Structure 1
Amino acid sequence: MRPLLLVDVDGVLNPFGRPEPGFRRYHCTIGPEAYTVHLDARHGTRLLELALATGAELAWATTWEHHANHWIAPRIGLPELPVVPMGPARDSELGEMFKTPHVAAYVEDRPFVWFDDQVRDEDERYLRERQGLDRFLLVCVDPVGGLTRQHLAMARRWLTLSGFSQGP
């Protein structure tokens, strides 16, 4: 069973702080809304390398949903990815964020790493206690700086030590 690498956009690939060198500004329109995003093409390369090295499958876990395939993926060199459907927000049971039940439903019993800027202890508790999941790693990304090599290394280490990795 291939593990999943779940990726959020805002705060992860699109940091909220002043972008570092290597980021490029894009303006995108989704329906009546206009957004400015800062993206670094190296993120796509690094995520693909991580997926290849570990045998994992990349998927979007973002409120951008399918718009991420249109606006984000081509700008950072990712192919079209599966999308975790966010559906309507549910009431929180343990203080988990609104995305967590949707992620749980999507992953079923597959192992996964989730890169998000809003995952907290409550989300981990929800996944373990309410969903019975135990093979996952939540990587809380600082939304000011976004995804770093250290986050990716943490995921690779966890996948390798947990025996899910096909790579060295």
Structure 2
Amino acid sequence: MRPLLLLDVDGVLNPMRGPSPDFRAYRCLIGSEVYTVHLNPRHGRRLLDLALTTGSELVWATTWEDHANDWIAPRIGLPSLPVIPMSPEAPSEFGEMFKTPHVAAYAGRRPFVWFDDQVWAEDEEYLRVHRGLADFLLVHVDPRIGLTSRHLGMAHEWLTLTGFSQGS
């Protein structure tokens, strides 16, 4: 079973900080709403390299859902990716984030690394205790900074050391 690399958009690929030299601003139209996102075009290549070297599959785990393939993927050089459906929003049972049950249902027994700015101890407990999933790594990303080399390195190390990496 190939491991999953689950990607959030806002706070991870689109940090909350203002413009910086590594990021470009893009305007996205979703329905009647216009959003400005700041994206680093190098993120796509780095994520694809991580997926390739670890034999993992990239998947969107974001409320952008299919819009991530329309507006985010082409701007950072990613192909169209599978999407974890996030609606309807279920109420929290144990303090976990609303996305966590959707991630658990999608991942099933596949190992995964989840990059998100809103994953906390409650999400880990929900996944381990209440869903019985043991093989995952939650990578909390500071939403002001976004995805960094350190986060990618953590994922690579975990996938490699745990033996889930198909490329090791």
- Superposition TM-score tier, normalisation by shorter sequence: over 0.9
Partner secondary structure for residue 45 of structure 1? helix
Q: State the partner residue of 1:94.
A: 94
Partner secondary structure for residue 47 of structure 2? helix
What is the CA–CA distance in structure 2 between the aligned matches of 1:156 and 1:9, rounded to whole Å?
20
Q: State the partner residue of 2:157.
A: 157
Q: Does the CA-based 8 Å contact 2:7-2:61 persist in structure 1?
A: yes
Structure-2-length-normalised TM-score: 0.98
Give the fraction of aligned pairs with identical amino acids, expressed as a percent. 71
What is the CA–CA distance in structure 1 between the aligned matches of 2:117 and 2:83, rounded to whole Å?
18
Q: Does the CA-based 8 Å contact 1:19-1:145 persist in structure 2?
A: no
Structure 2 unmatched ranges of 5 or more: none
- Counterpart residue identity of residue 93, structure 1: E
Partner secondary structure for residue 19 of structure 1? coil
- Counterpart residue identity of residue 117, structure 1: D
Note the alpha carbon deviations across 1:17-76, whole angstroms, 9 max, x for none.
123322000001000111000001110000000000000000000000000000000000
Shift of 1:161: 0.4
What is the CA–CA distance in structure 2 between the aligned matches of 1:84 and 1:106, rounded to whole Å?
7
Q: Does the CA-based 8 Å contact 1:5-1:57 persist in structure 2?
A: yes
Partner secondary structure for residue 123 of structure 2? helix
Structure 1 unmatched ranges of 5 or more: none
What is the CA–CA distance in structure 2 between the aligned matches of 1:52 and 1:82, rounded to whole Å?
16
Runs of 4+ in 1 over 4 A off after TM superposition: none
Q: Does the CA-based 8 Å contact 2:2-2:166 persist in structure 1?
A: no
Q: State the partner residue of 1:15.
A: 15
Partner secondary structure for residue 21 of structure 2? coil
What is the CA–CA distance in structure 2 between the aligned matches of 1:99 and 1:19, rounded to whole Å?
28
Answer yes or no: is 1:32 the counterpart of 2:16.
no
Answer yes or no: is 1:166 the counterpart of 2:151.
no
Q: State the partner residue of 1:44.
A: 44
Q: Does the CA-based 8 Å contact 1:27-1:37 persist in structure 2?
A: yes
After TM superposition, the structure 1 = structure 2 runs for residues 71-110 of structure 1, keeping only pairs within 5 Å, are 71-110=71-110
Structure-1-length-normalised TM-score: 0.98
Partner secondary structure for residue 153 of structure 1? helix
Q: Paired residues, what number?
A: 168
Tell me how large the CA RMSD over aligned residues is. Answer: 0.7
Partner secondary structure for residue 43 of structure 2? helix
Q: Does the CA-based 8 Å contact 2:8-2:60 persist in structure 1?
A: yes
Shift of 1:130: 1.1
Q: State the partner residue of 1:148.
A: 148
Partner secondary structure for residue 115 of structure 2? strand
